[in-house]
Amino acid sequence: ATAREGPSSSIPIRFGRPCWPQDFVKIAFSDRCPLHQGHIASAPVPVEAPTKWVYLCGNTRLQADVADACRWASNETGHKFVLMCEEF
């Protein structure tokens, strides 16, 4: 999957099932997400992240493009979207 650069890009909706509460863990997004520095504080920000989401950054397993994870984190700070999980 390729990521479009820019804060106006929407998060990609992946094929899969809706995320369930047990899929979520606390992770921190920091300077590994430079795309949305204006939206996320420079200090690490703890957010609820799904363990089966393929676009994660910070202290979790990164399986795809960091930019998409940063867009996801930005959406967590106030923008609405439908969160989908990938099945591994």
Tens digits of residue pLDDT in 51-71: 444 433 333 333 434 445 445
Percentage of residues of the chain with pLDDT beyond 70: 0
Task: Dihedral sign for Cα 50, 28, 66, 69, please.
Answer: positive
Can you give the pLDDT at residue 23?
Answer: 53
| pLDDT of 47 strictly over 50 | yes
How many domains does the structure of the chain reveal?
Answer: 1
pTM above 0.85, yes or no: no
Single-letter residue type at 6: G
21 in a domain, yes or no?
no
Average pLDDT taken over every residue of the chain: 45
Provide the residue range defining the domain that includes 83. 1-6+52-88
Q: What 3-state class would DSSP assign to 3?
A: coil
Residue 28 pLDDT level (bands cut at 50, 70, 90): low
26 in a domain, yes or no?
no
Higher pLDDT, 82 or 74: 74
72 in a domain, yes or no?
yes
